[in-house]
Amino acid sequence: MENKSVSLRGKNILGLEYFSPDEIELVLQTAKEMKNIIHRDIKKVPALRGKAIVNLFYEPSTRTRSSFELAGKYLGADVINITASSSSIVKGESLRDTLLTVEDMGIDAIVMRHKAEGAAEYAAKVVKPVIVNAGDGAHAHPSQGLLNLFTIRQYKGGFKGLKCAIIGDVLHSRVARSDIWGMRKMGIEVHLAGPRTLMPRFLYEEEGIFIHDRIEEAIENADVINVLRIQLERQKSGLFPSTREYARIFGLNKKRLSLAKKDVLIMHPGPMNKGWEISPEVAYSSNSAIQEQVKNGVAVRMALLTLILTGGKNSEIID
Amino acid sequence: MKLLIKGGRVIDPANKIDKTADVLIENDKIAAVEENIVADDAKVIDAAGKIVVPGLIDMHTHMREPGQESKEDFASGSRAAAAGGYTTIAAMPNTKPVVDNSILIKGLKQRAREDAVVNIEIIGALTKGQKGEELAEVGDMSQAGAVAFSDDGHYVQKANVLLNGLDYLKPFHKIIISHAEEPTLVEDGIMNEGKRSAMLGVKGRPAVSEDIAVMRDILLAEYADAPIHIAHISTRKAVDFVRQAKKRGVKVSAEVTPHNLTMTEDMVDLTDSATKVNPPLRTDEDLAAMIEGLIDGTIDNIVTDHAPHAEEEKDREFRYAPSGFPGLETALGVLLTDLYHTGKVDLPLIINKMTAAPAELFGLDKGTLSKNAVADITIIDTEEQWTVDEDKFYTRGTHSPFAGRKLKGKPVMTIINGRIIMQDGIIIE
């Protein structure tokens, strides 16, 4: 570890606004060690043996939930999944009561995905187990923000002075907000672009954050482009006229990509709307790190779980 | 039965009185307000160093009766009112069922007489079921004693329906209270739309939704030459619209809540739904406009919008918690602390907005210490320091955003019909 005085032990992972650059650095360093484990034949270490983690998911999710589940299991923790559709939640049990029930079972950490902004923070007030926010409404998705940083570091070697374009539905994107917090803390310039109806009206431009009407302006000379997922169900409420028009004016295609730096890194939190928000040739180009992000996601989540549950002191067990 | 309140600073805005004097009550009426009254047979209340004012009036509360008595009923709500220094409150009709007929008006007035310790006025729904489609029987309800009409909680979206209401009610001399908020602009919004909602990723309720609605309702009132009262005004532009309309003679009035006079969106905490309220807490600029509007007369009265909810409804995810919190027991303390003691608003003005002004606006025979007026009186200690403790509330509502706050100033006695109902925060049964 670079900075021995930094510890995340017992810290609720609620949003990157609550992280210091040193804490982010600690997670990224730890994730690097964790990534080695994923490449092993036997992907199991005893770092979290005896710890119990619950994935409490109020919204459907494939990659985030399984990423956290595997992260816990690779580290030897006992992991259970509770999803809204197959639990007492459908009987009308309140979030508070569900949390208290989980707490009584001796759970050490609760990884929580919820539609309501602030739900993870609320959970942290209600129960003692460490809370990891796996997405709360359009507010935050800190582990995604961290894995994006990890991926950028992997390809770019560092952060300072990089230009990152975040394209698409910023209004509804927890990924965008976590990126903004995380990237600004690490010295990356953030350029946002997309339809004005998908841009928060009061997301003001402050130091290092720029808002553009034309995505070409955001992409120009960019080191990193993060394409956000457009939620089709929102499209029905008339926030943009059609997917066809979106593709023509705001879609990331090869032509637009040529405005960016030659070695630009393409990211996407997934799942992708290929063909209109991002063209397949861009999504699968050599500049794309979209598949690598998935792998990095597991490593970053392994790092987070280890750091919050053991402070990283068991890291010697890993090797 | 005689009561003599000795040596207090008497503030009676209706009679432009602000002086040290004694107040004599005989039976249930004010007998005299003079210096050095001698009445040997009277029970004497020492009010030296205290403020003696007409009983406070709150024209916008939610008593939850009928239908949701577990949240609040006339018994609990009226005790909360008395504890807060109020002697008269008005109950909004967005109950279950909606109060949209004279049977309910009469029934509720009867219930109030039986269960309540303060005077409770009943506001009827303007439209059947508050659906905004057809006028409710507002004439019949007027004759049954409804004090005003409102679809509070809902904007009357159809302009022709509101216009019909304004025209129809003119001969009945009853005011329509408008919940001014254009609904398509606030769908799913849970706090003010602004910088804070943008960073929290929360859907906001933009100020323009209120601005548009207030402007339309002013234009309709002007066209009908009938009175309209804007409920819980909260935006700078809406205050400006009311100000301009008043200047050109439109019969428009407006009310504001203590929280929109003292709190901003920066205080919204997504882990505690106490700050979830509609209209939402706005910006510093809006707050300054509320105070300016209060002082220059644009805003006529202060109301609590007392909106109690059950603990389990409020103690949950911010997004799913209902809007509103109990305000009757904290209103005066908050206003004295944040407006009077900070020098922003003087005491007689605050008292006027809570007594004489609402009485005059809604045609109530109250809010004054005139001779022979009903002896509804509140005695206030502006210097007493106290901490808001929800466990001591009489309301069944919880999640006050003021819980735990240290306040300076509170009502120490509430007298209704010449009888002491509350003393030192305790309801006398």
For chain B, what percent of residues have pLDDT higher than 90? 99
A141 is catalytic: yes
Return the number of CB contacts < 8 Å for A and B: 68
Which of A95, A118, A177 comes nearest B199 by C-beta? A177
> Is there a contact between A95 and B316 (Cβ–Cβ < 8 Å)?
yes
The tens digit of pLDDT for each residue in B269-310 reads: 999 999 999 999 999 999 999 999 999 999 999 999 999 999
Chain-chain contact of A118 with B200 (C-beta, under 8 angstroms)? yes
Å between B154 CA and nearest CA of chain A: 22
Residue A319: per-residue pLDDT: 47
Name the DSSP class of A8.
-
Complex prediction ipTM: 0.88
Chain-chain contact of A202 with B319 (C-beta, under 8 angstroms)? no
What is the phi-psi region of residue B418: left when phi exceeds 0, alpha when psi lies from -120 to 50, beta otherwise? left
Ranges of beta strands (E only) in chain A are 52-57, 78-83, 109-114, 130-136, 163-167, 189-193, 209-212, 224-227, 265-267
Å between A276 CA and nearest CA of chain B: 25
Contacts with B200 from chain A: Cβ below 8 Å = 117-118, 139
The tens digit of pLDDT for each residue in B171-205 reads: 999 999 999 999 999 999 999 999 999 999 999 99
Q: Residue A98 belongs to what H/E stretch?
A: helix A95-104
User: Which pTM was predicted?
Assistant: 0.93
Å between B379 CA and nearest CA of chain A: 40
Å between B77 CA and nearest CA of chain A: 27
Whether the predicted pLDDT of B90 surpasses 90: yes
Å between B272 CA and nearest CA of chain A: 7
Any chain B CB within 8 A of the CB of A105?
no
Provide the total of helices (H) and of strands (E) in chain B, helices listed first. 13, 19
Distance CA(A299)–CA(A32), nearest Å, equals 7
Residue B1: per-residue pLDDT: 81
* Given A141, A174, A229, A256, the catalytic residue: A141
A113 is catalytic: yes
Chain-chain contact of B193 with A140 (C-beta, under 8 angstroms)? no
Query: Which 3 state secondary structure label does DSSP give B150?
Result: strand
- pLDDT tens track of chain A, all 319 residues? 445 579 999 999 999 999 999 999 999 999 999 999 998 999 899 999 999 999 999 998 889 999 999 999 999 999 999 988 877 777 788 999 999 999 999 999 999 999 999 999 999 999 999 999 999 999 999 999 999 999 999 999 999 999 999 999 999 999 999 999 999 999 999 999 999 999 988 877 788 999 999 999 999 999 999 999 998 776 667 899 899 999 999 999 999 999 999 999 999 998 999 899 999 999 999 999 999 999 999 999 999 999 999 988 655 445 4
Q: Mind telling me the catalytic residues of B?
A: 305
The tens digit of pLDDT for each residue in B368-397 reads: 999 999 999 999 999 999 999 999 999 999
> Is there a contact between B391 and B100 (Cβ–Cβ < 8 Å)?
no
Which of B197, B315, B317 comes nearest A119 by C-beta? B317
Residue A236: per-residue pLDDT: 66
Any chain B CB within 8 A of the CB of A115?
yes
Any chain A CB within 8 A of the CB of B319?
yes
Closest CA to A100 of A127, A81, A80, A125: A127
Cis peptide, bond prior to residue A241, ω within 30 of zero: no
Residue A314: per-residue pLDDT: 53
Sign, CA torsion A53/A58/A61/A62: positive
Residue B369: per-residue pLDDT: 98
Chain-chain contact of B320 with A116 (C-beta, under 8 angstroms)? yes
List Cβ neighbours of A262 (8 Å cut-off, separation of 6 or more): none
Distance of CA A53 to the CA centre of its chain: 19
Which of A117, A122, A201 comes nearest B202 by C-beta? A117
Any chain B CB within 8 A of the CB of A262?
no
Best residue in A202, A209, A236 for a mutation probing chain B (most B CBs within 10 Å): A202
Sign, CA torsion A228/A231/A236/A239: negative
The tens digit of pLDDT for each residue in B96-141 reads: 999 999 999 999 999 999 999 999 999 999 999 999 999 999 999 9
Residue A2: per-residue pLDDT: 46
Residue A206: per-residue pLDDT: 80
Residue A87: per-residue pLDDT: 76
Whether the predicted pLDDT of B352 surpasses 60: yes
Average pLDDT, chain B: 97
Segment B151-162 mean pLDDT: 98
Chain-chain contact of B317 with A200 (C-beta, under 8 angstroms)? no
Residue A88: per-residue pLDDT: 76
Residue A278: per-residue pLDDT: 96
